Amino acid sequence: MAVGPGRSVKSPMRRTRRNRPRDLQRVRAGSVIRHLNRLIEAWRTNGYLATTPSIIPKLLKIAAAHGQIFEIERNVERIRRGQFDAGDRWLARWAAQELPEATSEQIDHALTLRVDSWTPDRIAKYLGVTFQTRHWLRLWSFGACDVSRKERHAKTKADKQRLDRDRARQRRRQRGAKPRAQYEAESLSRAEPWKAQGMTRRTWYRHGKPSQAQRLPPAQRGKRQGRSLSLPDQNSAA
């Protein structure tokens, strides 16, 4: 790419996994913990948490995988001042506040598990979060166990297009535009007023779209229709 003297152009760098901002992982971990708290509260309200105790170790495993990063994000200033104790048991404090149904043995077992990388769809399949639950609770950091990522993007695109059409329709109504059904019912193509006057559509438009009161005399209407297509007599023309 040609540039002027003293100028330089930097090639655009793609935001791949290798050159993403380093704080992106911490931001996502915080979102997972906040949405996990929201999911636990909803399950506790509808009684699912009490009737399904086997879900508690799974919740602890997800919290343990993202909690340490989330705790570092929340205590950045304390870490800089040297006031943050790395030995603080974040998971135990989180469980005491958000998941009191968990036992100490379950918490200790969750701390011994290997920390894996969790994608949104993997979290949803592990916890059984459906697309309806994700949409109802607005768990955007989770995926869905019954709808794939590609299908979610296609549905989101279709919903956005539908909303855009509705907004455009409302703007046209505010400007005074008629609905499509009303416009077609009142259109001249459906009424065909030229047939009532005994002329073609082209002739009716050529005469300025006359109304029934301005009906043309038959002599003017039939000029083109009464034209003879036979050739003139050569003897009479001579």
More confident residue, 178 or 143: 143
Q: The domain containing residue 136 runs over which residues?
A: 24-145
- Does residue 123 lie within any of the structural domains? yes
- Does residue 88 lie within any of the structural domains? yes
- Does residue 94 lie within any of the structural domains? yes
Which region among 99-108, 166-175, 199-208, 227-236 has the lowest average model confidence (pLDDT)? 227-236
Interval 155-199: pLDDT, tens: 999 999 999 999 998 998 898 888 888 887 778 887 788 888 888
- Does residue 221 lie within any of the structural domains? no
- Does residue 169 lie within any of the structural domains? no
Interval 117-136: pLDDT, tens: 788 999 999 999 999 999 99
- Does residue 218 lie within any of the structural domains? no
- The number of distinct structural domains making up the chain is 1
Res. 32: pLDDT tops 70:
yes
- Cα dihedral sign for 92, 98, 99, 100? positive
Q: What are phi and psi of 73, to 5 degrees?
A: -65, -40
Q: Are 143 and 149 in contact (CB under 8 A)?
A: yes
- Does residue 230 lie within any of the structural domains? no
CB atoms within 10 A of CB 141: 21
d(CA 101, CA 108) in angstroms, rounded, equals 14
Average pLDDT in the chain: 77
- Does residue 66 lie within any of the structural domains? yes
Residue that has been written with the tokens 């006031």 in this structure: 83
More confident residue, 87 or 171: 171
pLDDT score of 118: 85
Which region among 80-89, 102-111, 206-215 has the lowest average model confidence (pLDDT)? 80-89
> What stretches of the chain adopt beta strand conformation (E)?
none
